[in-house]
């Protein structure tokens, strides 16, 4: 497994990180359907076995459930084997499975204390503001993260889903260690402005959904899309519905041909494509069962050539043309 330094910090991250959004289950607004807790814990332990040295989670994933499962898993590991932990604040439990938005000082402090308890740790390695919402509160939230860092409750502070103007506002208060944006072959807007800004300002990039929420694994099909549970937020995502679904699956068929020529899988190709960018420190790869992280962690050893990048770009151009031909279809960005 390759490793890279996160921005200007001292955190040396494996280029594949374990994402725990999905293990939060389906009992909240952005869930992924029902989840077996024992399988989730086993997946976390297996990730460490195969060389993943950091885990990304958030207080809102399952409204605390994901953090709780991460805490249980790492508590069962020898101290020397325990991974680095990144989590997030700014999303709260609004009741009935819904989520609230707050970056006010009292709320952020309460979230941090709750996360420390659920994770069973004394200090969070990377603490991030999950979304820049409400926008007028991002300075207050960021100042609170700086305070928590000074108190030793978090080691480094970063953000997720922020744009350049918001990063600049925060940078004037305290350096931003990292940005966590969505980034994949089918969600690459951050390449235009945000990534160059991060590179110039030594802000590490840890991207989420590098496999397009499962579309870019090579194992997704029309039947799986049709059978998505109502508890799985992807059932409401236009990319998983006709007519975008058929265009995306045709794109993946082309990726499969490229992957086979390299003796890779489509998932490995998708992750390697993300990691080709020098600004990217690590790709966050979700896993709900041990075999899933076994299949994707190997991507941390893959290096994409310029020729392969060109082949992928040709397919992306074809996909863009097909999507552009759709009239009146709103395309999902994340």
CA distance 217 to 219: 5
Of the residues 61, 127, 183, 208, which is catalytic?
A: 61
CA distance 151 to 31: 33
61 is catalytic: yes
CA distance 80 to 157: 23
CA distance 183 to 207: 6
Q: Please say whether the beta carbons of 287 and 227 come within 8 A.
A: no
What are the Cα distances from residue 249, in Å, to 166, 216, 222, 277, 327? Answer: 35, 9, 8, 24, 19
Q: List the one residue out of 187, 162, 191, 192 whose CA is nearest residue 177.
A: 162
Counting every residue written for the chain, the total comes to 334
Q: List the one residue out of 213, 149, 209, 139 whose CA is nearest residue 177.
A: 149
Q: Please say whether the beta carbons of 201 and 228 come within 8 A.
A: no
Active site residues: 61
């Amino acid at each position: 497994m390759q490793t890279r330094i996160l921005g200007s910090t001292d955190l040396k991250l494996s280029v594949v990180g374990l994402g725990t959004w999905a293990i939060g289950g389906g009992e909240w607004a952005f869930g992924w359907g029902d989840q077996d807790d024992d399988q989730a814990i086993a997946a976390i332990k297996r990730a460490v076995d195969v060389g993943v040295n950091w885990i990304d989670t958030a207080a809102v994933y399952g409204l605390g459930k994901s953090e709780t499962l991460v805490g249980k898993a790492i508590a069962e590991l020898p101290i020397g084997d325990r991974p680095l932990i990144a989590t997030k604040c700014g999303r709260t439990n609004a009741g009935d499975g819904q989520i609230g938005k707050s970056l006010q000082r009292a709320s952020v402090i309460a979230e941090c204390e709750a996360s420390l308890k659920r994770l069973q740790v004394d200090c969070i390695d990377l603490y991030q503001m999950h979304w820049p919402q409400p926008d007028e509160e991002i300075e207050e939230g960021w100042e609170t993260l700086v305070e928590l860092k000074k108190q030793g409750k978090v080691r480094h502070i970063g953000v997720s889903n922020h744009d350049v103007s918001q990063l600049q506002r925060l940078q004037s208060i305290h350096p931003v260690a990292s940005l966590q944006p969505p980034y994949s072959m089918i969600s690459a807007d951050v390449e235009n402005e945000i990534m160059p800004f991060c590179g110039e300002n030594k802000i590490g990039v840890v991207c989420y959904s590098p496999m397009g929420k499962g579309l870019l694994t090579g194992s997704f099909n029309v039947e799986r899309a049709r059978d998505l549970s109502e508890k799985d937020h992807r059932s409401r995502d236009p990319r998983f519905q006709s007519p975008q679904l058929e265009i995306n699956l045709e794109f993946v068929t082309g990726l499969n041909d490229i992957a086979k020529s390299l003796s890779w899988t489509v998932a490995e190709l998708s992750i390697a494509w993300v990691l080709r960018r020098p600004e990217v420190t690590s790709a966050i790869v979700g896993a709900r069962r041990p075999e899933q992280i076994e299949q994707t962690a190997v991507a941390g050893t893959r290096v994409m050539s310029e020729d392969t990048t060109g082949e992928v770009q040709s397919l992306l151009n074809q996909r863009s043309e097909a999507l552009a031909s759709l009239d009146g279809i709103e395309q999902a960005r994340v």
